[in-house]
Structure 1
Amino acid sequence: MPTKPGKPRSEGIRAQNLARVLTLLHRSGPLSRAELTRLTGFNRSTVGALTTELGRLGLAYETEPAAPARAGRPSPRVHANERIAVLAVHPDVDAVTVGLVGLGGKVHRRIRHETERCPSVAEAVDITRTVVGGMASSLALMDRVIGIGAAVPGLVDSSDGSVRLAPHLKWEDEPLTTALQDALGLPAYAGNDATLGTLAESVFGAAVGKANVVYLNGSASGIGGGAVVGGVPLGGAAGFAGELGHTLVRTDGLPCHCGRRGCLETEVNLGGLLETLGLGHADLDELEAAMEAAKDSAAFRAVAGRQLDLLGEAVVNFVNVFNPRAVLLGGFLGALWAFDPERLHRAVAAGAIGGLGGSVEIRRAALGADLLLVGAAELAFSPLLSDPAALSNAISSAEQHG
């Protein structure tokens, strides 16, 4: 492919090389120059020039290495600059959570703003703006905030970030990213929360290095999911794949908003756990504390056991269909699993065909309450990771003329 007039081919190659190094630092953590040389296949002088350029752009910095284990000059360690940050937003039926996330997936701040009812798009954006305004001290410590990512419990059009349908929030054809961008003056991006959770766990959490994974996330708005098969996240023809919460687990079950009965997210739900615990709202830490306190309650054990059995029905289906190496459970599903992990393991081992259930790893997502914020942040970091120099220079120029 010919290069654009006035833009040397070598400049394009250098941009690709910068992107590769910054992405490695972002996803793998601090690496020595020697490790970068090995992982990229570039020669030492090229790696040195690239890390120097990333430092000039303010995207990376170097530290002295620990004492060498053997003779020879130790290689400096290169870090992605965690003070280059984005805002991450997760609207749900009972709260809007806002985070400040730096390069490398570092969550500097997380604030959960509870709501009395489902927030509208305008209310969610207004809450986000208010919460960000209260983060002044944390924002002042950042070198730069470059964008906004939103994790939405619904169908999101990846082409423009609009929410096609988020039934629990009662959102339909809502221009969420436009509203966020207008309110905060930063480029905004949005995606399905469970898909972004799958991405976050694959990059920073329990699914690192695993090519075949099913991920399920449970929140107040229901259950979503995602699958990585052969290292490729399943998106579907229109990008809406992963509605695993609508897997049938009980033929005579409760009616679901989708029009069917007995869907996983209808039968296994946070509301049922909270009601039995005598709670109206709870974040993940509060939920787990309450579940621990109720571990000797026969009533709660019966509700939790029933939900675990029905979750097992769904996981058996996913193991049969996707043959994953691991099934990861996020949100309240992770807390439910931790309450009685062996019950779920036994159900899956006994139900899956060909002994597949006995070999699959079932565990909770590693990122905990930060999971969806880290996933949303990946959307906002994507342009920077694709072309570090171009985006960094453009932002600097805009700041100088602002």
Structure 2
Amino acid sequence: MRAELERDRSGPQGKDAIRRQNLSAVLRAVRRSGSISRTGLVQELALSRTTVGELVTQLVGLGLVVEDDVKETGTAGRPSHVVRASDLVGALAVNPESDALTIGVVSLGGRILYRVRHEAGNVHSLDDVVALCRATSDELRKVLPGGCRIAGAGVAIGGQVSKRSGRVLLAPRLGWRDADVASGLSRALRMPVFVDNNARLVAVAEQRHGAVRGVTDFVYLFGGAGGIGGGIVAGDAVLSGRDGLAGEFGHMRISSAADVDYGGFAGTVEALIKRDDLVESLGLRHVTDAELESLVRTEHAPAFMRVARRQVRALAVTLANVANIFDPEVILLGGFLGMLAARFDDQLRAAMLAATLPSIGATVDVRTAGEPVNGALWGAAELVFDRLVQDPLDVALAKT
């Protein structure tokens, strides 16, 4: 199948289509590997050395990849050419939450080139988000490396995003309902804008760059200020559902308790495991993720321990259900769920295994993800880069 990439077709249109497919295949392989030699590309894509050389040269000319001369240790002769994605091509990444709006620029090579956090005394309106994104975009030429170009913008939303319409159907903690986020931002920024659920985007980012790189079957669960959601990868494919709404683990009922979640449902995962409750148990109102992580790791006050242990018990039931349903290789926990898991690892694991089928529980690996904000920015950027990689010749890059 890979060898077909190089097969010629009669006529200029056929040749052009194959050329585009080959460029896409090379750029995808470069991004997947982080850096790879031309020889490695020849072996992975089953293309000739001449073809790979021409494709890499064209991608270099487009400014999408760079080549470094690397001399392998203990070898003689000329240094080999190692290809990596350019850090001078980026995507604007936007992550609005109830407590803050984070805007960043992520490079095609996976580096976060810029990040700013706007604290929210109350919920950011969509107009606020558009205005702050426009102001940030205007400032980028002052803070980004010279010659950096932006391929588009991606938005990670803590809510339901329709795959068919692209509209935010419901983001309870933001107060947004049936909001056309992409069109408003696209007009303001004068670039293409793509929107998806934040937890699903982080799952994609973690598979490509983070804690589950290369894992083909995993479930990601994220807990943040906006609630609890998740992403599912099975057989190396992201499960998004009929309209892109899959992964709403927060609304899964696990108890007969009267506590309600942000959607108004009682006894759910999100009703019993809330970041707000954890923060309140510490005697605080507003706290960054970094501050909360430090406190969760060291706090012993009775009020905190009571809330934390109750949340850990609910989280164990949730993980057991997820394991029994999906039989994943890994369950990855992000946000404050990962903080709880790190602090109460033994208790969480024991309670989870007690409710998990032995044949599944014996092999599932529970891990914690990296910094949640970075994951959301990476994931939002991947919305843009997926389009760029699909056809490197068809994306207009705006200079900052």
Task: Please say whether Structure 1 and Structure 2 have the same fold, judged by a TM-score greater than 0.5.
Answer: yes
Identity of aligned pairs, percent? 38
Q: Sort the Cα spacing of 1:74 and 1:140 in 2 relative to 1 into closer, same or farther, 3 A.
A: closer
- Aligned counterparts of 1:352 and 1:142: Cα–Cα separation in 2: 53
- Aligned counterparts of 1:30 and 1:344: Cα–Cα separation in 2: 38
Pairing partner for 2:370 from 366, 370, 377:
366
Say if 2:309 is the partner of 1:320: no
Mean Cα displacement is larger for which, 94-103 or 198-207? 198-207
Pairing partner for 1:390 from 362, 369, 394:
394
- Aligned counterparts of 1:92 and 1:133: Cα–Cα separation in 2: 22
> Structure 1: which 5+ runs fail to align?
none
Corresponding residue for 2:167? Answer: 162
- Aligned counterparts of 2:72 and 2:371: Cα–Cα separation in 1: 31
Corresponding residue for 2:152? Answer: 147
- Aligned counterparts of 2:125 and 2:194: Cα–Cα separation in 1: 18
- Aligned counterparts of 1:149 and 1:142: Cα–Cα separation in 2: 21
Residues 99 and 111 in structure 1, CA contact (< 8 A), matched pair in contact too: yes
- Aligned counterparts of 1:85 and 1:307: Cα–Cα separation in 2: 39
Mean Cα displacement is larger for which, 366-375 or 11-20? 366-375
AA aligned opposite 1:25:
V
Mapping for residues 49-128 of structure 1, pairs under 5 Å = 49-71=54-76, 73-128=78-133
- Aligned counterparts of 1:369 and 1:91: Cα–Cα separation in 2: 10
Mean Cα displacement is larger for which, 280-289 or 256-265? 256-265
Pairing partner for 1:8 from 6, 10, 13:
13
Q: Sort the Cα spacing of 1:270 and 1:259 in 2 relative to 1 into closer, same or farther, 3 A.
A: closer
Deviation at 1:224, TM superposition (A): 0.5
- Aligned counterparts of 2:397 and 2:174: Cα–Cα separation in 1: 34
> Structure 2: which 5+ runs fail to align?
1-7
Say if 2:344 is the partner of 1:340: yes
- Aligned counterparts of 1:168 and 1:248: Cα–Cα separation in 2: 19
AA aligned opposite 2:311:
Q
Deviation at 1:77, TM superposition (A): 0.6
Say if 2:353 is the partner of 1:349: yes
Say if 2:55 is the partner of 1:37: no
Aligned length: 392
Pairing partner for 1:304 from 287, 305, 308:
308
Mapping for residues 166-185 of structure 1, pairs under 5 Å = 166-185=171-190
Say if 2:224 is the partner of 1:207: no
AA aligned opposite 1:96:
L
AA aligned opposite 1:333:
L
Q: Sort the Cα spacing of 1:285 and 1:236 in 2 relative to 1 into closer, same or farther, 3 A.
A: same
Query: What's the secondary structure of 2:80's corresponding residue?
Result: coil
- Aligned counterparts of 1:140 and 1:211: Cα–Cα separation in 2: 35
TM-score between the two structures when normalised by the length of structure 1:
0.92
- Aligned counterparts of 2:189 and 2:364: Cα–Cα separation in 1: 44
AA aligned opposite 2:317:
E
- Aligned counterparts of 1:24 and 1:301: Cα–Cα separation in 2: 47
CA displacement, residues 62-95 of structure 1 (integer Å, 9 cap, x when unaligned): 1111334345544211111011001000111111
CA RMSD across the alignment: 2.0
TM-score between the two structures when normalised by the length of structure 2:
0.93
- Aligned counterparts of 1:259 and 1:80: Cα–Cα separation in 2: 45
- Aligned counterparts of 2:29 and 2:377: Cα–Cα separation in 1: 20
Q: Sort the Cα spacing of 1:107 and 1:395 in 2 relative to 1 into closer, same or farther, 3 A.
A: closer
Corresponding residue for 2:243? Answer: 238
- Aligned counterparts of 2:272 and 2:339: Cα–Cα separation in 1: 16
- Aligned counterparts of 1:24 and 1:112: Cα–Cα separation in 2: 33
Pairing partner for 1:285 from 290, 303, 308:
290
CA displacement, residues 152-183 of structure 1 (integer Å, 9 cap, x when unaligned): 01111234422111122121111101111111
Corresponding residue for 2:382? Answer: 378
CA displacement, residues 207-241 of structure 1 (integer Å, 9 cap, x when unaligned): 22211101011110100111111211111111111
